[in-house]
Every structure is written in structure tokens, then in C-alpha cells.
Amino acid sequence: MRRFERAQAEDLADFLSGETWPYHSVPRIAAADVLRQAADGYYDNSSARTFWITVGGHRVGIARLFDLDDGTPLFDLRITGTARHRGIGTRALHALTAYLFTELPTITRVEATTRRDNVTMRRVLAAVDTSRKPTTGRPGPTARAHRTTPSATRSSATTGRRARSPRSTSTTKAVPNGVAFAASAGSSDN
């Protein structure tokens, strides 16, 4: 992954407007909107960083980290239609979490949500995540997910089961039409 630079705004506008993003709130982005957002610092500022995802020197996606000053940042991961289902999203998310936990030492946790019907992203999150809790609640436009402290859940490498830390706390947060993800610094991907 390579960090986006503001001088690449036109490339980013072409890239984002040239694809349909079916699981995002705005599936078709106008190039003019991307250029305006880039000029406003949406993709790169003290609270956000964007990276190009490349394979063989070709741009196949972007990853935007945001809320970096919050302590629990979020991310937006977009892979082109022709590059999906090849493990690129999983590798990108591994790289993002490694970047966050090494380059930004005050960050100890990252969270994400995705739509319930975005099965591919749910698989990516499950492949990387060691502290994800299953979505509960009835089917429909709103699912419930748990937000946990970094030590709240741990994945057991021997059993594959999750063990609950007795010192942890959790709160319930509504996640519209999706599932939650949380990775913590020092967590294992086993």
C-alpha cells in the first residue's frame, strides 16, 4: 500500500468515479465530489489517511483510515470489482491494522461496520479479527453489535473459541444493517 498524496486527487477521482461501490451509502461517486473532498482534506488530514492498494503496480483499491484522533479509528476499504474475491481485502486489512498499531502508538483499537448482506467484507473482517462478537437481533434494517474493550475477548489458538476476560466491560451499540469488527493492539490472528 502507498499513501495517497493530495497531488493524486485527479487519479483518485477517476478511480472512485469509475467503479460502482454496491455496499456503500453512495454506490456511484461523482468525480467532482471526490475532487472537492480531496481539496477539503477529506482523504488526508490530521485525523484521516488514505492509501492506494496495489497489486503488481496496478491500483486495485483504496483504504481510508479516519477518526485517527478519536482513539478508536474506523476505516473504509474499497476494492475494484475485477479485483474482488482474491484475498486482497484481507491482506489490505492486515496491513492497515499493522500500520495503525506500529505507526500510531496511541491507537490500541480499530473498529469497522459493514452491511449484513456484504458477505465478502464480513469474511474479510472475520479472517483478520480476533475480538469480533456475533451480530444478534432480528433480521431487518438494524442489527445489534457489541463494542468491547481491547481485552474483552480473545481468540484461543488451540480451541478456536473465544474466551471472555473477567475484567472487561462491553456496551451495546446499534449498527445499521451490519456487523461489527474490532481489532486490538497485540491481538493474534490465529
Question: What is the extent of the structural domain holding 44?
Answer: 1-107
Q: How many CA atoms, within 13 angstroms, populate the side-chain half-sphere of residue 107?
A: 24
Clarify whether residues 33 and 103 are in a common domain: yes
CB atoms closer than 10 angstroms to residue 118: 18
Question: Which of 80, 107, 134 is the endpoint of a domain?
Answer: 107
Mean pLDDT of 164-168: 32
Residue 183 and residue 190: Cα distance in Å, rounded? 13
- The whole-chain average pLDDT of the chain stands at 73
Q: Which of 34, 100, 114 is nearest to 68 (CA)?
A: 100
Q: How many CA atoms, within 13 angstroms, populate the side-chain half-sphere of residue 170?
A: 18
Clarify whether residues 20 and 31 are in a common domain: yes
Helix axes 9-17, 31-39, angle to 10 degrees: 140
Domain count within the chain:
2
Clarify whether residues 114 and 173 are in a common domain: yes
Clarify whether residues 97 and 8 are in a common domain: yes
Single pTM value for the model: 0.69
Question: Which of 107, 129, 160 is the endpoint of a domain?
Answer: 107
Clarify whether residues 79 and 95 are in a common domain: yes
CB atoms closer than 10 angstroms to residue 18: 11
pLDDT interval class at 17 (50, 70, 90): very high
Q: What is the pLDDT of residue 123?
A: 87
